[in-house]
A and B are shown apart, each in its own frame.
Chain A
Amino acid sequence: MTIVLAIAIGAVAGVLAGLFGVGGGILFVPALLMLGLDQHQAEATSLLAIVPVVLVGSWRQSRYGNIRWAAVWKLGLGSLCGVVVGGLLAERLAPGSLQRLFGVLMIAIALELGWRALRGDRASEPRPG
């Protein structure tokens, strides 16, 4: 039953992410919490779950020639250092505190989306993550 639920939640999160131009991660984390993982496990698992989404998306975008690979490698280089610092900080926080912080982030993204809706912007490109 949990397996069916996980598949269903994943599919719904993917559709919503593509539809509203937000990342998969912002939906994966609460979905994984619902499935019984703690905040650290949910975040770790969300990052791995982002990989197939990004692979599919990048494959499609590279065919259109939209990816600037020089910038990708630079971003990636910076990201490797950032990941270690962010990960170490997350590991130092108690799951409860990290969860509240994540909740604040969700509210911030909700406000940004609400602002977009009020201004009447089209939802922008999907941003897994």
Chain B
Amino acid sequence: MAVVFIGLFAGFYGALFGVGGGTIIVPALIWLGQRPRVAAATSLAAIGITAVAGAVFYAWYGEVRVLYALLVGIPAAAGALLGTAFQQRLHNRVLTGLFAVLLATIGLKLVIG
């Protein structure tokens, strides 16, 4: 039952922000006692349901741009494979820190407008 509630919250968060909700699901499943690898893999599959449901919901309001989704999503799928492969060899704290600064900068720009 706890898992259904995690899904509920992740779906809410995912649809509100247009993200999948892995940030919610992975730590919650680990907290419930799943191994990190299993939690991440299970979250990935569940995100598929959130993403499809969210896309269908927003399509109802005419907000989905299918061409852009394909143009961004398909290269991203290839890129993610590449990124995951590099991740095995590269645990650079400086790089992670720089990426955090990049995200914070974009975030601040969006907040200030």
Contacts and interface: CB of A to CB of B under 8 A. Distances in A.
Nearest to B3: A74
B38 to A, nearest CB: 5
B80 A125 contact: no
A79 B93 contact: no
Contacts of A75: 3-4, 6-7, 10, 25, 42-43, 46, 49
Interface residues of B, number: 93
Nearest to B73: A49
Interface string B1-42: 001111111111111111111110110010000101110111
Contacts of B101: 110, 114
B59 A46 contact: no
A44 to B, nearest CB: 3
20 contacts: A14-B78, A18-B80, A19-B90, A40-B58, A47-B64, A48-B64, A50-B19, A53-B80, A56-B81, A57-B44, A75-B43, A76-B46, A78-B8, A82-B9, A102-B18, A103-B107, A103-B112, A118-B93, A122-B91, A123-B91
Interface of B: 3-23, 25-26, 29, 34, 36-38, 40-55, 57-59, 61, 63-66, 68-87, 90-91, 93-97, 99-104, 106-113
